[in-house]
Structure 1
Amino acid sequence: MFPLYDTIPSLKRPVVNYIIIFTNILVFLYELTLFWDEELLNAFFYNFGFVPEKMFYSFPILALFTHMFIHGGWAHIIGNLWFLKIFGDNVEDAMGHFKFFLFYITGGIFALFFHIIFNPFSPYPLVGASGAISAVMGAYLVLFYYSRIVSLVFFILPFLVEIPAVIYLFLWFIMQILNGMYADITGTGVAYWAHAGGFIYGVLVGFRVRKKRYWY
């Protein structure tokens, strides 16, 4: 069930969303120059990704921000930026450019700390925009619950289906929780709790934005 686009066009040019996407691409292009040297690439991830266990001896303040612009491979960055493209423009419409930027950054940081709650001693760097993008998706659920997500579904043959955004995003959130619990048992390389934390943050901020938009 892969999302292709939503049914609500953006009213303004999503400048900040484009800048975030472009910045992620630029950083990934730099990463590609390091792929020939595994030691250099690992050092890049370790220095600019967020390593939870570092907090106990030297809090990596810079990594609070840099971790959300680093990706571990082609599938990682393409998947993340595709979701940001679909959901980010409308949320930027609702919040305005500057507030959307602040929301995106704080959402990524909230998602990071939610991940740390479940992985406080992890020696592995957390990288990726998915925590911040999950916050965008949570806000989208609250602000545009009436939207529909046109998705590609594979069942014998691929076909398109319009899924109500409230159903699509709620099921996505539940899957992050279930996958997070499964990962706690088996261990995976995906930060599902960061996804869940970001989504919760987005829902909370989304309700606040909706209240200001429609009650005043």
Structure 2
Amino acid sequence: MFPLYDENQTRITPYLTYGLIGMNILVFLHEYSLSNEQLELFFKLYAVVPRELTTNFAGEWTTLFTSQFLHGGWWHLISNMLFLWVFGNNIEDRLGHVKYLIFYLACGALAALCQWFIGMNSGIPSLGASGAISGVLGAYLIRFPQARIMSLVFLGFFVTTIRIPAMILIGIFFLQNVISGLASLQVAANMSVETGGVAYWAHIGGFVFGIILAPLFGLFRREY
């Protein structure tokens, strides 16, 4: 199930949403041009490495922001940018360009801290725009609970499009992350080695902080 577009009209051009998508694509193309050794060093410098953040927060705090523009593969990038494309424009329209950018980056940084809190001594890099985008989804849910999203649905060999209430689509996203996040804690508790995978707690944290912060940024009043 993949969102294609929403039914709400915006009154301003979402320049920042387009710009964020463009920056993520450009950074990923740079990643793609690197050798494995260079990419490993690139991630070490600009992704959040929890162990490094724990021991040297003053020198590593900028990675809470730079990590938001890194992605681990084509699918990671495409899925994130699709959600940002569909949901970001209306949140930018409601917050205004400047507040939207601050909100987006703040959600991403707080989401990264949530993931860091779960595994402070992990040496596995944490990266991606998912935490920031989860904040956008949280804001969208409380601002447009009755909206419907045109979505692409795969039914075996058949592909169709249906209009799904935003509350259901985003609710499924959140519940999946909560269930997977709790499962990941159980796995980690039963293992003596680090495990990689999806940063579920960054998704959850970003979503919750999006709900909390968006009204403070003026979600329920329009700015131009």
TM-score interval, normalised by the smaller of the two chains: over 0.9
Taking the TM superposition and a 5 Å limit, the aligned residue runs for 1:1-216 are 1-34=1-34, 37-59=35-57, 60-156=60-156, 157-186=158-187, 187-209=195-217, 213=221
Q: 1:94 to 1:158 in 2, by over 3 A?
A: same
Q: 1:78 to 1:161 in 2, by over 3 A?
A: same
CA-to-partner distance for each residue in 1:179-206, whole Å, 9 max, x for gaps?
1122233444100110010000111123
Contact 2:143 2:219 in 1 (8 A): no
CA-to-partner distance for each residue in 1:17-69, whole Å, 9 max, x for gaps?
111111111111111110xx211111111111001111332220221210000
CA-to-partner distance for each residue in 1:121-171, whole Å, 9 max, x for gaps?
111111100100100010010111121011122223222221111121112
Percent of aligned positions with the same letter in both sequences? 42
Contact 2:3 2:149 in 1 (8 A): yes
Taking the aligned partners of 2:54 and 2:154, their CA distance within structure 1 comes to 46
Which blocks of at least 5 consecutive residues in structure 2 are unaligned? 188-194
Taking the aligned partners of 2:74 and 2:202, their CA distance within structure 1 comes to 20
Q: 1:211 to 1:133 in 2, by over 3 A?
A: closer
Aligned residue pairs total: 212
Contact 1:142 1:207 in 2 (8 A): no
Taking the aligned partners of 1:172 and 1:27, their CA distance within structure 2 comes to 26
Contact 2:10 2:89 in 1 (8 A): yes
CA-to-partner distance for each residue in 1:64-87, whole Å, 9 max, x for gaps?
210000111111111111110000
Taking the aligned partners of 2:141 and 2:40, their CA distance within structure 1 comes to 36
Contact 1:140 1:206 in 2 (8 A): no
Q: 1:107 to 1:127 in 2, by over 3 A?
A: same
Query: What's the TM-score, normalizing by structure 1?
Result: 0.92
Query: What's the TM-score, normalizing by structure 2?
Result: 0.89
Taking the aligned partners of 2:43 and 2:93, their CA distance within structure 1 comes to 33
Name the SS for the 1:182 alignment partner.
helix
Indicate the residue corresponding to 2:190 in structure 1.
none
Taking the aligned partners of 1:162 and 1:188, their CA distance within structure 2 comes to 34
Name the SS for the 1:75 alignment partner.
helix
Which blocks of at least 5 consecutive residues in structure 1 are unaligned? none
